[in-house]
């Protein structure tokens, strides 16, 4: 899940890369690859024929620009989908804008289709739903291919509306730069909240200057975009694989446009019916507890770092009362970086650091003994990384959060969720849930109407579904997979132990289960779970 403070799979939704220096980005393009074969059930491979269906048109063409080089695009079939920004069916009473299907504004979404490795691919492709909200699907091609997702099927990537390779592109680098500077501020000070809102207003004005209708960047319109893509590509049935926020979109897509879906995989599950600040507190507690238990169960770790959980909880309260200010240098930034390590920043650090679990006990122990440098360097390295600047479509981020989340969850609800998860935390921390600092204030500035309440309905379906979770997932909670699966009558819920958010990115076992699921949706092969081992924690001398 993405937000003001994290990015979806930056990787693994915002993460291992968020803790390390990243290489600088470069813009690239490519020409759509010449098809070498025909798809089963198609006269020509999907993505090579222009087609208009209703108010949507797919047009083959060059591959999209990307922030980092993606060599795999050299063999992709690419193009664009053009759709109304606002569809007639979604026009509310009194809306002054003309619906896109009747002469209104149209937007363009980039499409890249990675061909299957198999010489005899299955006829039903997989469509990838990116994380975030706000991450660009095309940028996640390397992750999908590293997990062999295109072994037997073509995999379709489309930039969600507003994202990096879409037109308009609703990124707001000022938000990302502010997030980096905010490391030097006390997280929960009212003055910090005012600065958050100032940055949000600047982003709002930038989006407005592009002529974008902020109220159309949501799950309802995005789901219709994907249904339009399937129809314009001429695909009768396809499979869906969503990661992080992409699971939120996938569950709404299943509910709104079930026709044409063969099966659905969701990894790092965020059900729309419970999305918001309270569930991020629950996720932090479950992910942290999974990591602390793994250390406690490992004799060497437990001996070297006894009572690690209690130490962490004590440090959060102590730092919230008396923050530590330090200065660090990171390879990705030329100047020294000021970091205020308070309770909220410590929680934010661990939410991401579960992706590099081996070093967490040592880092907490060093902090307990007065040395905050390792944690501060990791926080600064993530926020100042080139991968954290100008990549996330904050226009889509706020479109989701401010129309689908905050209208249906009060600040008091968030505080109650925080108190349930962490009863020892100071009240000053609880309104600003992990990954969602000052969200209600930001959403008042963003100023979009609530989405229909049905956007938070529980998804009930008999479409075969695989719900994957990670035992260390501090971003979307291991228990969310089972929660979503309970109303999906043909579902399999699997938790991969010792892995953080979005297990497909980091676990060969998760990759094996996923590919077997798309081959046999009723009976995925989960035998690899039996051989999984906990991480070997860094035992400092």
> Is 535 within the bounds of a domain?
no
Give the count of domains, the chain.
2
Residues in the chain predicted with pLDDT less than 50, given as ranges, are: 3-42, 91-102
Sheet-wide strand order for 238-243: 51-53, 56-60, 77-84, 106-114, 155-158, 126-129, 238-243, 261-267, 465-470, 491-496
- Based on the domain organization, do 286 and 185 belong to the same domain? yes
- Based on the domain organization, do 186 and 323 belong to the same domain? yes
Please report, for the domain that includes residue 474, its CATH number. Answer: 3.40.50.1820
> Is 422 within the bounds of a domain?
yes
> Is 9 within the bounds of a domain?
no
pLDDT at 91: 40
> Is 100 within the bounds of a domain?
no
Would you state the structure tokens that stand for residue 266, as one six-digit string? 């969701």
Q: Indicate the SS3 state at residue 230.
A: helix
- Based on the domain organization, do 368 and 434 belong to the same domain? yes
> Is 381 within the bounds of a domain?
yes
Mean pLDDT for the chain overall: 91
- Based on the domain organization, do 265 and 136 belong to the same domain? yes
| Mode of pairing for the β-strands spanning 106-114 and 56-60 | unpaired
- Based on the domain organization, do 424 and 328 belong to the same domain? yes
> Is 19 within the bounds of a domain?
no
Q: Indicate the SS3 state at residue 386.
A: helix
Is the bond into 203 cis (omega within 30 degrees of 0)? no
- Based on the domain organization, do 386 and 490 belong to the same domain? no
Q: Which domain holds residue 207?
A: 171-211+273-451
Tell me how many degrees the CA angle 523-525-529 measures, rounded to the nearest 5: 135
- Based on the domain organization, do 246 and 217 belong to the same domain? yes
Q: What percent of the chain shows pLDDT beyond 90?
A: 87
Report d(CA 405, CA 448) in Å as an integer. Answer: 12
Q: What is the pLDDT of residues 309-327, one digit of tens each?
A: 999 999 999 999 999 999 9
Report d(CA 286, CA 448) in Å as an integer. Answer: 32
- Based on the domain organization, do 469 and 391 belong to the same domain? no
Calculate the dihedral angle through the C-alpha atoms of 314, 319, 325, 331, rounding to the nearest 10 degrees: 60
Would you state the structure tokens that stand for residue 466, as one six-digit string? 């695989």
Give rounded-to-5 percent helix, strand, coil for the chain. 45, 15, 40
- Based on the domain organization, do 121 and 194 belong to the same domain? no
- Based on the domain organization, do 282 and 267 belong to the same domain? no
E strands, 404-484, are 465-470
pLDDT at 97: 36
Boundary of a domain, candidates 428, 451, 474: 451
Please check whether residue 170 is in contact with residue 394, taking contact to mean a CB–CB distance below 8 angstroms. yes
Boundary of a domain, candidates 451, 469, 490: 451
Q: Indicate the SS3 state at residue 59.
A: strand
- Based on the domain organization, do 185 and 160 belong to the same domain? no
> Is 328 within the bounds of a domain?
yes
pLDDT at 1: 65
pLDDT at 44: 84
Report d(CA 413, CA 431) in Å as an integer. Answer: 9
What is the model's pTM?
Answer: 0.91
Boundary of a domain, candidates 403, 435, 451: 451
Tell me how many degrees the CA angle 322-355-438 measures, rounded to the nearest 5: 45
Please check whether residue 414 is in contact with residue 398, taking contact to mean a CB–CB distance below 8 angstroms. no
Phi, psi of 432 (to 5 degrees): -100, 90
DSSP assignment of 261-285, as one string?
A: EEEEEEES---GGG-SHHHHHHHHH
- Based on the domain organization, do 300 and 414 belong to the same domain? yes
């Amino acid at each position: 899940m993405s937000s003001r403070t994290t990015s979806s799979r930056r990787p693994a939704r915002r993460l291992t890369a968020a803790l390390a220096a990243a290489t600088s980005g470069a813009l690239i393009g490519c020409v759509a690859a010449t098809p070498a074969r025909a798809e089963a059930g198609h006269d020509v491979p999907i993505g090579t024929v222009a087609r208009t269906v209703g108010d949507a048109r797919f047009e083959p063409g060059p591959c999209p620009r990307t922030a980092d080089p993606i060599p795999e695009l050299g063999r992709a079939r690419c193009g664009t989908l053009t759709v109304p920004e606002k569809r007639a069916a979604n026009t509310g009473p009194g809306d002054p804008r003309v619906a896109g299907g009747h002469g209104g504004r149209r937007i363009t979404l980039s499409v890249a289709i990675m061909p299957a490795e198999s010489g005899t691919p299955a006829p039903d492709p997989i469509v990838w739903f990116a994380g975030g909200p706000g991450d660009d699907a095309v940028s996640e091609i390397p992750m999908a291919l590293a997990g062999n997702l295109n072994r037997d099927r073509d995999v379709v990537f489309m930039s969600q509306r507003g994202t990096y390779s879409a037109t308009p592109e609703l990124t707001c680098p000022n938000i990302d730069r502010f997030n980096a500077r905010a490391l030097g501020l006390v997280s929960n000070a009212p003055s910090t909240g005012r600065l958050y809102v100032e940055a949000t207003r600047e982003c709002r004005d930038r989006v407005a200057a592009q002529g974008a209708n902020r109220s159309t960047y949501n799950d309802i319109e995005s789901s219709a975009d994907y249904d339009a893509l399937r129809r314009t590509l001429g695909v009768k049935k396809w499979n869906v694989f969503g990661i992080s926020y992409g699971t939120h979109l996938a569950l709404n897509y299943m509910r709104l446009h079930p026709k044409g879906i063969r099966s659905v995989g969701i990894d790092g599950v965020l059900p729309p019916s419970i999305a918001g600040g309270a569930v991020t507190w629950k996720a932090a507690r479950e992910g942290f507890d999974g990591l602390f238990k793994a250390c406690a169960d490992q004799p060497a770790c437990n001996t070297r770092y006894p009572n690690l959980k209690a130490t962490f909880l004590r440090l959060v309260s102590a730092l919230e009362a008396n923050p530590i200010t330090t200065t660090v240098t990171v390879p990705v930034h030329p100047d020294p970086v000021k970091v205020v390590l308070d309770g909220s920043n410590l929680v934010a650090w661990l939410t991401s650091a579960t992706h590099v679990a081996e070093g967490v006990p040592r880092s907490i122990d060093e902090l307990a003994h007065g040395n905050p440098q390792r944690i501060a360097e990791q926080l600064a390295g993530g926020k100042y990384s080139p991968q954290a600047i100008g990549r996330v479509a904050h226009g889509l981020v706020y479109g989701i959060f401010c129309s689908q989340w905050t209208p249906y969850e009060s600040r008091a609800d968030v505080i109650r969720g925080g108190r349930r998860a962490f009863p020892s935390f100071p009240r000053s921390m609880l309104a600003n849930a992990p990954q969602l600092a000052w969200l209600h204030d930001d959403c008042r500035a963003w100023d979009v109407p609530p989405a229909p309440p049905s956007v938070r309905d529980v998804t009930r379906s008999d479409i075969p579904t695989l719900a994957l979770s990670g035992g260390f997932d501090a971003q979307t909670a291991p228990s969310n997979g089972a929660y979503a699966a309970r109303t999906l009558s043909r579902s399999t819920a699997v938790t991969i132990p010792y892995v953080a958010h979005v297990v497909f990115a980091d676990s060969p076992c998760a990759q094996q289960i996923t590919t077997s699921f798309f081959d046999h949706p009723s009976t995925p092969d989960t035998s690899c779970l039996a051989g999984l081992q906990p991480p070997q924690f860094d035992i400092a001398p």
